[in-house]
Structure 1
Amino acid sequence: MVTGTPEEEERQGDPAADLSRDDIASGSLHDRLSSARDDFEHRVDRARDQFDATNEMIKKRTGRDLFAAIGVGIVAAAAVLASLLFVKWAFAILAVGIAALGVFELTRALQARGRRIDLVPQLVGAVAIVGAAFWFSTAVHWTSVFVSLAFIVVWRVLVQMSARDGRVYASIFSDIIVGCFIPLYVPFLASSALVLVRQDDGELWVIAFLLVVVVADTAAYATGLAFGKNKLAPRISPGKTWEGLAGAVVVSVAAGIAAAVLLLDLPWWTGIIIALALVGSATMGDLGESMIKRDLGIKDMSSWLPGHGGVLDRLDSILPSAVVALALFHFLSPLGVA
């Protein structure tokens, strides 16, 4: 049996020495854990600072909170996708509500600039037009459009007659024209998506066109942010560039081909047609709303959606694209793979 030196044997038999060694080991472990925790907290703080700095840089350049916009976009996309795939009538209700909010925003913005726009007939018309597109026939849908326009005109005339404020005929006529523009711009264009979703596999076409438009918007934003130098339409929307448009075309063509083959059972080359048509309509819609906002002297229609502005600021590229998607459905769906 091997034994240690007398000093070692004495220390081994000393309870105080054993306790001292345990304290040292415990203290060493505690120090290591504290150091690891401090290092982790330092890394988290540094990552948070980098995150905030990146977000502030993007906000300074674009005026948008990118990460808030991503969060809102994910929630909205999940709601739309779930309603389209599982409960179509829920998508219709969602579309009615979104169209009504867009009409509300635009009406309030016009009222703030001195336009005499009546909110009640505008909201009634929005609900009637979008609702009829899904729950009733094509004839009823078109009838709801004309009845809504007549309702808006009559309401404005009656309100103006009772006001007796000396407003000149040119101003009254201008208010009526602008008032009739709202239901044609927001609910009528939005109703095209409801007409589309009623078709055979229409929900897949709605998903496809929304996918291409969102991808195009995102690619234009990212490419323009990274490489944008040449302004696309500086007098209308200074933030848009030709480089951003080129990025939107390239990425949306890839998305269009994928959507055509995987979702719509169409030949791959139809995806190029779908992508180019939707990029064109989305760009025109975006520039069109920018013209309206520039004329009104505002940056966003509202601040309801963090990182996005208002509801209408997110619908600008989608509204005209819904009409184009409906036309593409009628032209291209006969080419579907049996």
Structure 2
Amino acid sequence: MEPAAGSSRTGRNLPVAIAVGAALGAVTIASLYFVKVLFLAVVIAAVGIGVTELVRSFAARGINVPLIPALVGMTVMIGGAYWGGTAWLLGSFAMTVLLLMFWRMFQGVENYVRDITATILVLVYPSLLAGFAALLLAVHGEQGNRGADLVLVFIATTVASDIGGYFAGISFGKHKMSSLISPKKTWEGFAGSALACMAVGGWLVSWRLEEDVWKGVLIGAVVVVFATLGDLIESAIKRDLGVKDMSSFLPGHGGMMDRLDSLVVALIPVWVLLTLLV
């Protein structure tokens, strides 16, 4: 069967996907450089949608994760990380886990371990991981935009992984990375991701952070590994839950978690490298 007009070999409507991606990028950059707190709100909203998608997908398989308490805990973690730092992020995460363990206990002991395990997964991925974006944003520099520049390096380099991998994969992809987990991912796509990440990382670190190009290239090399792992983790979760996309919230992309997967997994190693190198 021939793909529908405007559709790519992956089944996505490419023009719609590009338009939605451009709109998300514009909102992100505008909020990042004009009002930092607004960007923080964008992060909380995006991660909140991702958490909601995960919880509903679990619920469809009979796995009980309390949505509202999970959203409250996520908001406290991300907001607290910006104003209170790493200690607040980790402390609020631990307290949220304990409170939700107590919460679930009073609903009965049947499937307690299963539900709590899923709950902790939601609180880590994406909630806790996203808090490290707030830590980057909170960094101050002489011009006041240092944190925004650090976040831009992270986001742009990670997005470059998706874009480079997509176009290299549909153009040259032949050798599958893991047919068991994600049959569409290829080593040729991975090579395209690597080149795009290292090019964008080197360019932005040199331009926005005024640091050596090799630092950005190194960050890009680390990003491509963890961004690809993030995609594979999300694919494994979806295959286990029996869904193609987490939702249809973003036309041409799927759900919010389908866009956050590589970002949240790549975030901590990028935070470590930026902290050490920059």
Q: When the two structures are superposed, what TM-score results if normalisation uses the length of structure 2?
A: 0.94
Q: Percent identity?
A: 39
Give ranges in structure 1 of 5+ residues lacking alignment.
Answer: 1-51, 162-166, 334-338
Cα distance in 1, alignment partners of residues 112 and 89 from structure 2: 28
- The answer to whether the 8 A contact 2:89-2:128 is kept is no
Residue 180 of structure 1: CA displacement? 1.2
Residue 309 of structure 1: CA displacement? 0.3
Extract structure 1 runs of 4+ deviating beyond 3 A: none
Which structure has the greater CA radius of gyration?
1
1:84 equivalent in structure 2: 32
Cα distance in 1, alignment partners of residues 208 and 220 from structure 2: 14
Cα distance in 2, alignment partners of residues 261 and 326 from structure 1: 17
Q: Which amino acid aligns with 1:332?
A: L
2:211 equivalent in structure 1: 266
2:94 equivalent in structure 1: 146
Task: Please give the per-residue CA displacement for 1:99-152, whole angstroms capped at 9, x wherever unaligned.
Answer: 111111000000101112211211111111111111334332222111111121
Q: When the two structures are superposed, what TM-score results if normalisation uses the length of structure 1?
A: 0.78
Cα distance in 1, alignment partners of residues 68 and 99 from structure 2: 10
Q: Considering only aligned residues, what root-mean-square deviation do their CA atoms show, in Å?
A: 1.4
Q: Indicate yes or no: 2:16 matched with 1:68.
A: yes
Give ranges in structure 2 of 5+ residues lacking alignment.
Answer: 141-145
Q: Which has the higher contact order (CA 8 A, sep 6+)?
A: 2
1:297 equivalent in structure 2: 242
* Bigger shift: residues 199-208 or 186-195: 199-208
Q: Which amino acid aligns with 1:87?
A: V
Cα distance in 2, alignment partners of residues 235 and 319 from structure 1: 23
- The answer to whether the 8 A contact 1:156-1:176 is kept is yes
- The answer to whether the 8 A contact 1:205-1:325 is kept is no
Task: Please give the per-residue CA displacement for 1:235-275, whole angstroms capped at 9, x wherever unaligned.
Answer: 11111100011111112221111112111111111122011
The structure in which a higher percent of residues are helix is 1
Q: Which amino acid aligns with 1:232?
A: M
1:256 equivalent in structure 2: 201
Q: Secondary structure at the match of 2:248?
A: coil
1:217 equivalent in structure 2: 162
Q: Which amino acid aligns with 1:126?
A: M
